[in-house]
Amino acid sequence: MECRVARTRSARRGSVLLIALMVTVGVAMLGACLLQFSASASRAQLQSVDQKRAFYVAEAGLSESIFGMMVGKSGNIGSAESPARFGDGVLWVEALKTEDGRIVLESNGLCGGGRASQSIVVQQHANSIASLGIFSDGDLVVRAGSVIDSYDPDAQLLAGLVGLLPGAGAMSSSGKIGSNGNITVQGAKRSVTRIDGDVTPGVNGTVISSANVTISGSTVPRSAPVVLPPIDVPSLVSQGTLVHMASQALTIATGQHRYDSLTVGAHSRLVVVGPQTMVVGSMVLERGARLLLDTSNGKVDIHATDYVSFGAGSVIDNQQHDPAKAHLYISASRTIDRNGDGVPEAPVTMLCTGAMYATVYAPAASLTLSNGLEVFGAVTAASLVLGENSKLHFDEALLVDDGTGPDDVKLLSWKVLELPEVPLINMRVDPVVLLRLQGAALLSPCDSHQDVEFKIKYISVKGERVVWAGVEAKFDWSQVRSVVAIGRLGDALFGIL
């Protein structure tokens, strides 16, 4: 009996161990699964963070590229072989010009294991300087009784067709008046000042207005100052002095002319036929003189380099009533005694009357418009005073880009791209670590704008006009006061400059 029990016990020996072993293996397997799951979740989380960071690195690349374009660079930053370092990641941007003049910017951002590629389409353009409307680089004063608004010339034409008075009914409500300083708008009980549109002072400027002033728009200050481009005066051979005193009209035929001085005597008449580019040292219209701009066949551009004096009662008439066809560029800036009487004369005096259809651009001169003058077009000056009861109607057609204004980049579209087939992207390792191992320099984005063969025409800090060609990176921007034109290899301008 005892022997049977002992045999049974011996047969059962080790079964608990087996069960324990099975449980242990089961728990170990479960633990391994959990560990695997946890590691996987952690990796996914890390990947998600890296992905997000890569996305924002690519965004930063686009921003840097746009900034580069706005200061005259190509928009290319780094390359797939030599990207720029940004934070814990790297980026590169390629700028591709399309046939219609737009620019596609493709930015790639890599951070840890994250990869992102984005693209935007931008359009680079320079506004018309006349699009500034009524603008003063310094303070602007609007005297009592003035009216400032804008008009659409096409609507004006329609209004004329239906028998309304010229201009009546065609005025819109987006008059443009602004400055880089303060704007003072005066009004009087019997001379109410009316501004239809926004009045935009400088960044730290304000609009001072009083009772009897009506402003239909906002008076919010601008977010960034406006830089007035300098005038590019054409190089022409002087034909000496032109003085016209006779009562009969004198006609200057179409073409290009330069005079040291041009004087139209009292009640005399001068006709300038367009297309015309005229450069004059000093331009004097004596009392009652009449300057007729015949713009029926083309525009008339008059550059006054030293002195402008439009006497009382003088008239500037534009035959086509189209301010886009009559430009008065005044680069005069010195207040000096010109007639030897001991009293210094301002570089620009405008006492003309009637209606003037023109754009006046005098970035270096203080300008005071005579009382009662009516301007259709745009006026820009270093500082500007609009005389009492003056009327300024901004021509909305001047908003069209003619390439004379400051550079601007307009964003047209944005999209996320498929990742390109590039070794650095395909290898899912930290790009910074990899590139460091390879000995890459990893410059910052602002130092990674790509070198491009380019030509630049600019006004130097000494006031001289200079043309420079070479590798963009070697160009000394500290010598530039303002840029006239830039052309890069592949641009149409590159060959012209």
Which x/- pattern over 284-323 shows residues binding another protein (rule: CB under 8 A)?
----------------------------------------
* Cβ distance to another protein smaller for residue 179 or 380: 179
Q: How far is the CB of 199 from another protein (least distance, A)?
A: 9
80 burial (CB, 10 Å; 0-12 / 13-18 / 19+) is middle
* Cβ distance to another protein smaller for residue 69 or 199: 199
Residue type for position 322: D
The footprint of another protein on residues 326-355 (CB under 8 A) is 341-343
**Residue of 455, 444, 359 whose CA lies nearest to 132:** 359
* Cβ distance to another protein smaller for residue 206 or 460: 206
Q: How far is the CB of 119 from another protein (least distance, A)?
A: 25
Q: How far is the CB of 177 from another protein (least distance, A)?
A: 13
Q: How far is the CB of 200 from another protein (least distance, A)?
A: 10
* Cβ distance to another protein smaller for residue 240 or 342: 342
Q: How far is the CB of 342 from another protein (least distance, A)?
A: 3
CA–CA gap between residue 280 and residue 143 (Å, rounded): 31
* Cβ distance to another protein smaller for residue 59 or 232: 59
Tokens at 195, concatenated: 């501004």
Of the candidates 48, 204, 241, 479, which one interacts with another protein according to CB under 8 A? 204
* Cβ distance to another protein smaller for residue 8 or 218: 218
Beta bridge partners of 165: none
Cβ-contact 208, 430 below 8 angstroms: no
Cβ-contact 103, 69 below 8 angstroms: yes
Q: How far is the CB of 220 from another protein (least distance, A)?
A: 4
* Cβ distance to another protein smaller for residue 69 or 386: 386
Binding-site size for another protein (CB under 8 A) equals 21
* Cβ distance to another protein smaller for residue 201 or 265: 201
Q: How far is the CB of 111 from another protein (least distance, A)?
A: 24
* Cβ distance to another protein smaller for residue 220 or 433: 220
Which of these segments, 28-36, 203-211, 354-362, 439-447, binds another protein (CB under 8 A)? 203-211
The footprint of another protein on residues 206-245 (CB under 8 A) is 206-211, 213-220
Q: What is the 3-state secondary structure (H, E, C) of the chain?
A: CHHHHHHHHHHHCCHHHHHHHHHHHHHHHHHHHHHHHHHHHHHHHHHHHHHHHHHHHHHHHHHHHHHHHHCCCCCCECCCCCCEEECCEEEEEEEEECCCCCEEEEEEEEECCEEEEEEEEEEEEECCHHHHCEEECCCEEECCCCEEEEECHHHHHHHHHCCCCCCCCCEECCEEEEECCCEEECCECCECEEECEEEECCCCCCEEECCCEEECCCCCCCCCCCCCCCCCCCCCCCCCEEEECCCCCEEECCEEEEEEEEEECCCCEEEEECCEEEEEEEEEECCCCEEEEECCCCCEEEEEEEEEEECCCCEEEECCCCHHHEEEEECCCCCECCCCCCCCECCEEECCCCEEEEEEEEEEEEEEECCCCEEEEEEEEEEEEECCCCEEEEEHHHHCCCCCCCEEEEEEEEEECCCCCCHHHHCCCCHHHHHHHCCCCCCCHHHCECCCEEEEEEEECCCCEEEEEEEHHHCCHHHEEEEEEEEECCCHHHHHC
* Cβ distance to another protein smaller for residue 182 or 366: 182
Q: How far is the CB of 406 from another protein (least distance, A)?
A: 23
The footprint of another protein on residues 182-201 (CB under 8 A) is 182, 198
* Cβ distance to another protein smaller for residue 182 or 320: 182
* Cβ distance to another protein smaller for residue 345 or 407: 345
* Cβ distance to another protein smaller for residue 13 or 190: 190
Q: How far is the CB of 59 from another protein (least distance, A)?
A: 17
Cβ-contact 117, 90 below 8 angstroms: no
Q: How far is the CB of 211 from another protein (least distance, A)?
A: 5
40 makes contact with another protein (CB under 8 A):
no
The residue assigned the tokens 């530039």 is: 480
**Residue of 305, 310, 299, 332 whose CA lies nearest to 263:** 310
Tokens at 313, concatenated: 């009662």
Q: How far is the CB of 341 from another protein (least distance, A)?
A: 7
Q: How far is the CB of 212 from another protein (least distance, A)?
A: 9
Q: How far is the CB of 429 from another protein (least distance, A)?
A: 33
Which x/- pattern over 148-187 shows residues binding another protein (rule: CB under 8 A)?
----------------------------------x-----
Chain residues that interact with another protein, rule: CB under 8 A: 182, 198, 204-211, 213-220, 341-343
